[in-house]
Amino acid sequence: MSQTLTVDRNSLQAGAQRVQVLRQRLLERKRSGRSGWSPEMPVVSARSLRASEQISSWQLRRGLLVRDRLNTVQFAINELELLAGRVDIESEEGRPDEVVAARRYLEQYPGPPGQTGHCELDLDPLMSLGISGLEARTHGLMAEATGERVATYRSFVYTLEGLSLLCVHAAETAEAALPLAGPARQAELGQIASSCRRIANQPPASFRDAVQLLWLTLVGVMQGEPAGLVVPGHLDRTLQSYFEQDLAEGRLDRNEALVLLESLYLLINEFIPDGLAIGVMVGGRDQEGRDLTNELSYLCLEALRRTRLIYPTVGLCWHEDTPGALVDLALELVAQGCANPAFFGDKVIQQGLRQLGVPPPITTPAACCWRRSPPRSAPRRQPSRHLWSGTADAWGRRWPGVRWSRTRPEGCGGNGAANLCRASSPGTAWPADSIWTKAGRGTTGPSAHSSGWPIWLIRCTCCARRSTPSAASVLPS
């Protein structure tokens, strides 16, 4: 791909203004300290489990519980949002005395041990068959099953019914806003409602449908089970066919796709509490080693520019054949103070997974820096030894005068990674939105340095001391 991103620049301003207003409103709501994710839901959980006490199969009761939880999720929508699925944090599940009583009842049902979530869902069956198609396939499997398998498949049907109800509730939320909306907004709300009602049963028919179903499925899993931090994952693969078809048939332009991705990122920040992690991955290779970068890979990174929030991290699955333009875009965002792009050594991670016996069809799309090694419960980080030299080479292409250093601050004995922050030029102050200012690390800039090339400060994540590379300090290859 020769260009980083191609959009209609005449339509960028309206999209930018919309995203800016939505972002500001999100931040105002976040100041309350509440988020959309409510894994407890004690009142509805207690009501559901009381109603199923006569059922002997816990598997069936669990499926009914998920359906009941999803059937009570309430959404909100304002006059600018383009996707449904913002959980209404103002809605109350019950009176305080009801909540206390429900929690007391639920003490006999402790949650499962260990960690749930922290994964990317395999959405291919849902995207290709739709909820009704997947439900029909599950009924077929149930007809051939015996014993406890029958209850297991039946519980799957219950959860799919719950996901369908969740989509219908999202449609109803958009429809409820129609009477007070102007003509232009009514058209947008009509699109949102139609999309949600379609995906409540059928497979996605458009890029919008696919993004909407992906988000409501993530909400469904995290609210229904509940499982924590289920991530969008490889958006540039999951959504690619819908994006390309809509683009070819004229139903979508690149700026509209960008705003929908930005809307998804805003919903993620509304839903997930601060201080956690949600990942999107782009790039990487297929089973034959071919680069999988496509136009959506660039858009997934570009969507960070205007949202500028803590979620999601967009991980670049870096390998030797990754297009330089994609790496340059990620580095440009980092240089502008956006800390969300991350770089993953695709080759090393795949090697590690293969050494654990994971077969190639699974290792190929995987590019996560965490893996689990039984019987431990703590994650281990995969090495990325090829990443430093590749990233440094790419940054050197973009800013040829920059020098690099891995030197740690004097007195630091830790092994944390180094975060880099770029100042625009010698003698200038740090940008107001730089990670140094936001992190409270001070504003000591490069004014004391006389070199003619941009200065990077290195912050050690172990001791938070700053280290300034000299003109002679070069990152070893």
305 and 263 in a single domain? The answer is yes
Confidence at residue 362, expressed as pLDDT on a 0 to 100 scale: 63
For residues 259-265, average pLDDT: 97
Query: Cα(210)–Cα(222) distance, rounded to whole angstroms?
Result: 18
Asked if 10 and 81 sit in the same domain, the reply is: no
Judgement on whether residues 289 and 334 belong to the same structural domain of the protein: yes
The verdict on 79 and 148 lying in the same domain is yes
Instruction: Provide the percentage of residues in the chain whose pLDDT is more than 90.
Output: 59
- Cβ contacts of 438-441, under 8 Å, gap ≥ 24: 438/337, 441/466
Residues 265 and 250 in one domain: yes
**Sheet with strand 341-345: strands edge to edge:** 279-283, 313-318, 341-345
Burial (CB < 10 A; 0-12, 13-18, 19+), residue 3, is exposed
CB-side neighbour CA atoms (13 Å) of 384: 22
**How many CB atoms lie under 10 A from the CB of residue 374?**
5
Quote the number of domains for the chain: 3
Q: Which of 382, 398, 414 is the last residue in one of the domains?
A: 398
Clarify whether residues 71 and 185 are in a common domain.
yes
Q: What is the mean pLDDT of residues 304-314?
A: 94
Q: Is the pLDDT of residue 128 over 60?
A: yes
- pLDDT tens, position by position, 385-405: 334 444 445 545 544 444 433
Q: Which strand (E) or helix (H) includes residue 341?
A: strand 341-345
- pLDDT band of 138, cuts 50, 70, 90: very high
Q: Which domain holds residue 358?
A: 1-34+228-398
Q: Of 370, 398, 426, which residue is a domain's last? A: 398
Residue 477: per-residue pLDDT: 27
Cβ–Cβ under 8 Å, residues 216 and 167: yes
More confident residue, 158 or 477: 158
Judge if 180 and 197 occupy the same domain.
yes
The whole-chain average pLDDT of the chain stands at 78
Residues 57, 203 within the same domain: yes
| Same structural domain, 261 and 409 | no
pLDDT digits (tens, 9 = 90+) for 16-35: 999 999 999 999 998 888 88
Determine what percent of the chain is predicted with pLDDT higher than 70: 73
Is the predicted pLDDT of residue 176 greater than 70, yes or no? yes
309 DSSP 8-state letter: S
Q: Are residues 24 and 75 in the same domain?
A: no
Greater model confidence, 367 or 298: 298
Within this chain, do residues 447 and 324 fall inside the same structural domain, yes or no? no
Coil vs helix vs strand at 456: strand
pLDDT digits (tens, 9 = 90+) for 357-382: 877 766 565 544 333 322 222 233 33
Least Cα distance to 215 among 362, 45, 75, 309 occurs for: 75
Spatial separation of the C-alpha atoms in residues 81 and 260, rounded to whole Å: 10
The more confident residue out of 454 and 204 is 204
Instruction: Verify that 411 and 383 share a domain, yes or no.
Output: no
Q: What is the pLDDT of residue 11?
A: 60
Among 172, 191, 226, give the residue marking a domain's end. 226
- Contact 340/314 with Cβ under 8 angstroms? yes
pLDDT tens for residues 212-257?
999 999 999 999 988 888 999 999 999 999 999 999 999 999 999 9
Residue type, position 324, single letter: G
Instruction: Note the pTM of the prediction, 2 decimals.
Output: 0.77
Q: Cis ω on the peptide bond leading into residue 323 (within 30° of 0)? A: no
Over residues 201-206, mean pLDDT = 98
- DSSP label of 336: T
